[in-house]
Amino acid sequence: MDVHELRQDIDRWAHDLGFDQVGVTDTDLSNVSQDYREWLRQGFHGEMSYMNRNIKKRVAPHELLPGTVRVISARMNYLTFPAPTEISDPTKAYVSRYALGRDYHKVVRRRLAKIARKMVDKAGGTHRAFVDSAPVLEKPLAVKAGLGWVGKNTLVLNSQAGSYFFLGEIFTDIPLPMSQETAVAQCGSCKACLVKCPTDAFVAPGKLDARKCISYLTIELKGSIPIELRPKVGNRIFGCDDCQLICPWNRFASSTTIQDFEPRHHLEDVSIIDLLEWNESTFREKTEGMAIKRVNYSQWVRNLAVAAGNSTYSVKLEKVLVEKRTEMENRNDSNVVEHINWALCQLLAETQNR
């Protein structure tokens, strides 16, 4: 078997399947192990207990899949239309760009699995695809594979593609030639992402306190969003893109060719009121096959309540909130009821201050 020829085949297969860049690295992550453990020790992972499990496998890929000697790291652009630079309309609900279409876990992993099968057919061996679904430190692996550098906003940045892309990996026991070039960090003195963060979630350049991050608050957190952070969440109901929207490197972001990532149900431009009118059945139907299913209906309504409280008062908005409160009271969902009550108080206070 010619590993150099196989590497070229992998690049070609990946391109044909919609990937925008592929790199190969070894399994040595000793340079990030201490930093990752310290991040956990400080509790910055919040309620994401899974990040504190299988640490040995995270920092040593060959422990996760015995026999692994190389990691193929691939990136796939997901931007389907120009991202705004500001979230300006408080009556609209903002969903993070990555979650507007089909669930990326399914799209990216299915295509990586096809590459893995082609590798088996051509060279045998053991290969396994991962997409944010196992204890894998994908960002350090992507950096080592030459796909970019970790910016001050903790995202992988690429000088030709910005940061609007998904990452996925194939662990393999074939000693493929490794990528020779690694990207040099090019954030320089720029602090735009750190300043722009609505909740000041960055405790230092490249270090995120997830407990204050809006993506964590609207997706990972199951309980109550802290009252002091609610006004800062604004109208973001699933994730947050602020540190990407402001990043100068995203001027070079390219649109995707993957139709699966096209927005569904007009979620790229939808009002808070329209989404509050969804019942649980509608929520389940509309979000089927989307990353939004990461949250349950209770979290969805909770997030919309916070967005409504940060919106502009209207008689209709008050009406749908009161109706939604009755629905959640009938479900004995006291947590969401409390968020709706908070929203109503915010809106009524706004009318009084006019």
- Give the residue numbers marked as catalytic: 132
DSSP 8-class letter at 309: H
Q: Distance between CA 43 and CA 25 in Å, rounded?
A: 30
Name the pairing type of β-strands 21-25 and 236-238.
Answer: unpaired
In a 3-state reduction of DSSP, which class is residue 25? strand
The DSSP-derived string for 150-172 is E-TTSSEEBTTTBT-EEEEEEEE
Using the Cα atoms of residue 56, residue 57, residue 58 and residue 62 in order, give the sign of their dihedral. positive
Q: Distance between CA 70 and CA 236 in Å, rounded?
A: 38
Residue 244 · residue 83 · CB < 8 Å = yes
Radius of gyration of the chain (CA): 22
Instruction: Name 75's bridge partners.
Output: 21, 167
CA-closest candidate to residue 164, choices 22, 267, 287, 261: 261
Task: Give the chain's largest Cα–Cα span.
Answer: 76
